Amino acid sequence: VQVFTGHRVQHNSGPGPTKGGIRYHQSVTLSEVKALAMMMTWKCAVVGLPYGGAKGGVTVNPKLLSQAEIQNLTRRYTTEIGFMLGPNQDIPAPDVNTNPQIMAWIMDTYSMNIGYSVPAMVTGKPLVLGGSPGRNEATGRGCVFAVREAAKVLDIDLTSSKSVVQGYGNAGSVAARLMSETGSKVVGVSDSTGAIYNPNGLELSAVDAWKAET
């Protein structure tokens, strides 16, 4: 029997319901989750969103678990923090090592526990469950928007630039593709297992295929 520790922190509910992702990683600690919840408060405040900050996490390496074990973990975690959640109280989302499938399990578990379906209690769901088109690309696209505006301030021509992306996951892989579409040459990417570099530019479709295999 394995026992895992999970956290859910609500930093500030003054502006409205709290909002923040749930991560599954072996290095998750309560202190980290508290800090990330606070950062979500500032992120929402900066752009004027009517949400406060929250964050959640489970100290686990999901790569060592089967899909069935991840589902069991997710459903138990959701049940334990369910009293904190709801569309008018606290709305989770994907984060490190979590995805639309995990959000679907969260929504399903929460809905079963209260007796009716509540699609609005979590974001980042599959489209068939009421998810938003473009959600999977949103973080990476936002990164590229920020890079584009910074390039204007610094007078950098992205069409003749080179880019390196640290963290080639859900967000980083999208950011790399969108940077490439701006004309920037992506010469390096990295993730938790290593990095690759080619001064002549990387073929991102080949990088995606290699990452999927490994």
Per-residue HEC secondary structure of the chain comes to CCCCCEEEEECCCCCCCEEEEEEEECCCCHHHHHHHHHHHHHHHHHCCCCCEEEEEEEECCHHHCCHHHHHHHHHHHHHHHHHHCECCCEEEEECCCCCHHHHHHHHHHHHHHHCCCCHHHCCCCCHHHCCCCCHHHHHHHHHHHHHHHHHHHHCCCHHHCEEEEECCCHHHHHHHHHHHHCCCEEEEEEECCEEEECCCCCCHHHHHHHHHHC
CA nearest 127: which of 136, 140, 117?
A: 136
Assess if residue 206 is contained within a domain: yes
Among 96, 129, 162, the domain-final residue is 129
Which residues are known to be catalytic? Answer: 55
- Residue 176: pLDDT above 90? yes
- Residues 125 and 173 placed together within one structural domain of the fold: no
- Residues 121 and 146 placed together within one structural domain of the fold: no
User: How many domains does the chain fold into?
Assistant: 2
Q: Which CATH number goes with the domain that contains 67?
A: 3.40.50.10860
Among 129, 157, 177, the domain-final residue is 129
- The pLDDT, as a whole number, for residue 20 is 98
Assess if residue 113 is contained within a domain: yes
- Residues 18 and 108 placed together within one structural domain of the fold: yes
Residue type, 194: G
- Residues 84 and 119 placed together within one structural domain of the fold: yes
- Residue 193: pLDDT above 90? no
| Residue 103 near residue 92 (C-beta atoms within 8 A) | yes
Assess if residue 43 is contained within a domain: yes
Residues 129-163: pLDDT tens digits?
999 999 989 999 999 999 999 999 999 999 999 99
- The pLDDT, as a whole number, for residue 212 is 85
pTM: 0.87
Assess if residue 87 is contained within a domain: yes
Among 100, 129, 158, the domain-final residue is 129
Q: Which CATH number goes with the domain that contains 185?
A: 3.40.50.720
- Residues 140 and 123 placed together within one structural domain of the fold: no
| Mean pLDDT of the chain, nearest integer | 96
Residues 9-54: pLDDT tens digits?
999 999 999 999 999 999 999 999 999 999 999 999 999 999 999 9
Domain around 149: 136-213
- Residue 169: pLDDT above 90? no
